[in-house]
Amino acid sequence: MDRRKFVKSMGLLGGFVLSGTSFAGALAGKEPGRKLRYGNHANSDWEVIVIGGGASGCAAAIAAAREGARTLLIEATHVLGGMGTSGLIPAWTPFSDKDKTFYGGIAEKVFKASCKEVYHPKQADALPVDAEVLKGVYDEMLAEAGVELLLGSRVVEVKNKTEKEIGSLLVANNTGLTEYKAGCFVDCTGSASVATWSGARLLKADDRVEAGFCFLLGNVDFYSYTYHFRKHPKATTETIKQLVHSGKYPLLKESHFENQLMHSSIVKFRASSVYEIESSEPDSYPKGLARGRAIAQQVLQALKEYFPETFAAAVLINSGTQLELSVPSRIMGDYIFTKEDFNSHKSFDDEIGCRIPYRILTPVGLQNILVAGRAVSADADICESLGTMSACLVTGEAAGVAAGLLLRTKTKDVHAMDISLLRNRLKEEGQNI
Ligand SMILES: Cc1cc2nc3c(=O)[nH]c(=O)nc-3n(C[C@H](O)[C@H](O)[C@H](O)COP(=O)(O)OP(=O)(O)OC[C@H]3O[C@@H](n4cnc5c(N)ncnc54)[C@H](O)[C@@H]3O)c2cc1C
């Protein structure tokens, strides 16, 4: 029985609230008066619901709340930040060249706040992402904006009012299944799953995608790492080749050793191509995570053996709980952004920042949902660039502002957005347009 039939057979799609939602008490923010907001959400009349609390979802929720919309953010895990925190992605993509800052608005604020406390070795070309600092930044910014949070809660079904309009979401958490209604929705799940369930068309998504996995080694010898391991990349690469081909570490490939110094004795590793995820198989994702963890252990053992001066005392201190999927599912929007657009620096009348057009957030055929983050409408050759954390913050902010403005102007149709109003609001909030 497929998921939709299963839910229907339980009689759950008829407009109901199965149980009220009571979430564990409030968690204090850093300053008095700043509290993360967990409440009894089920019966509230939400104006905007954002699904997914990664970079795009956090930005969308902050922006929608800032526009005055009663905003709820629903996140499946218990932590904000998505790939940036739970996935342990290594680094911010460069935020500026000498002359110009690329990403303004919320993206710039998150970047600056999360880099204040981060160790920044001069040799690094991109600033490392400290997941713990980033978690705190999102906690604080969402609390400050007045966003209500529903963490540990997964959207599992969508109920459409009409073919084009979503009415409500069905959410599963430890209290059971609850229906949530809103005027406008922003899908920031990273895979456009909510938009897809409500009828959005997808650009062809591959059934099998390569997954990457990140982990941290601690107690690394700083001096030896900096002045031997990193300083002599040719020799290091040669030794890594040898250890991979020695046959002693059967899971390892050379692509598992990309690394960056985080703090004086902590090194973050990104292992790419750890597993091929089969999107139709529910156990494929946890199997990929398990393979990632096994690879992390073998990387540690191999480094201890081949680079004892640097890694003899090293320990595995953390590993990602989310995988990095190379080509995610993406919606078909009113415009499909291409590599050609990117390379030719094409400009758009509806630009929302970083030369990104608004129309890649609006799913063809649906009215009251926007998609931001990794799953925007873009071809496979360019979706990685649009999927960096910084770009996800930009599309998230634009989607949140748009959702807030639509409600203010009593329109629900995301395709009828007043583009100059949207652009003006984004500019006022510091976006570089
Ligand atoms: C190999 C690889 C390496 C990368 N390295 C970098 C890098 O170094 N620097 C960089 O800037 N970017 C990097 N990226 C890109 C970056 O990881 C992400 O694309 C970006 O952070 C995605 O943000 P997002 O908000 O779209 O989604 P995510 O961060 O994936 O967040 C989505 C959130 O939605 C939640 N969710 C999903 N479904 C549901 C549901 N049904 N109900 C409720 N919640 C749900 C998830 O739990 C998750 O928290 C890399 C990507 C890949 C593939």
Of 118-132, 199-213, 315-329, 378-392, the poorest mean pLDDT is in 118-132
Mark whether 164 and 98 lie in a shared domain. yes
Mark whether 53 and 103 lie in a shared domain. yes
CA distance 285 to 268: 22
Cβ–ligand 1 contact at 89 (below 6 Å): yes
pLDDT, tens digit, for every residue of 199-254? 999 997 678 889 999 999 999 999 999 999 999 999 999 999 999 999 999 999 99
- In angstroms, what is the span from residue 222 Cα to ligand 1's centroid? 30
Query: Is 217:350 a contact under the CB 8 Å cutoff?
Result: no
Mark whether 227 and 186 lie in a shared domain. no
The pTM of this model reads 0.88
Mark whether 267 and 298 lie in a shared domain. yes
Mark whether 253 and 290 lie in a shared domain. yes
Mark whether 284 and 379 lie in a shared domain. no
- What CATH number corresponds to the domain at position 170? 3.50.50.60
Mark whether 34 and 143 lie in a shared domain. yes
Instruction: Map tokens 């990387």 to a residue.
Output: 299
**Domain-embedded: residue 261:** yes
Cβ–ligand 1 contact at 105 (below 6 Å): no
- In angstroms, what is the span from residue 292 Cα to ligand 1's centroid? 17
Task: Kindly report the protein residue whose alpha carbon is nearest to atom 2 of ligand 1.
Answer: 324
Is pLDDT at 56 greater than 90 in this prediction?
yes
The count of domains in the chain is: 2
- In angstroms, what is the span from residue 95 Cα to ligand 1's centroid? 18
Mark whether 154 and 188 lie in a shared domain. yes
**Domain-embedded: residue 36:** yes
Q: Which atom of ligand 1 is nearest to the CA of 396?
A: 25
Last residue of a domain, one of 305, 325, 345: 325
Q: Around Cβ 56, how many Cβ atoms within 10 Å?
A: 35
Of 28-37, 83-92, 245-254, 424-433, the poorest mean pLDDT is in 28-37
pLDDT of residue 97: 67
Q: What phi, psi does 38 have (nearest 5°)?
A: -115, 125
Over residues 304-333, the mean pLDDT reads 94
User: pLDDT > 70: what percent of the chain?
Assistant: 87
Cβ–ligand 1 contact at 292 (below 6 Å): no
Residue 282 lies in domain? 208-325
pLDDT, tens digit, for every residue of 157-216? 999 999 999 999 999 999 888 999 999 999 999 999 999 999 999 997 678 889 999 999
Instruction: Map tokens 């002359």 to a residue.
Output: 99
Mark whether 273 and 396 lie in a shared domain. no
CA distances from 15 to 44, 173, 194 (A): 15, 18, 18
Q: Which atom of ligand 1 is nearest to the CA of 326?
A: 53
Over residues 296-308, the mean pLDDT reads 98
Is pLDDT at 5 greater than 60 in this prediction?
no
Mark whether 289 and 351 lie in a shared domain. no
pLDDT of residue 27: 33
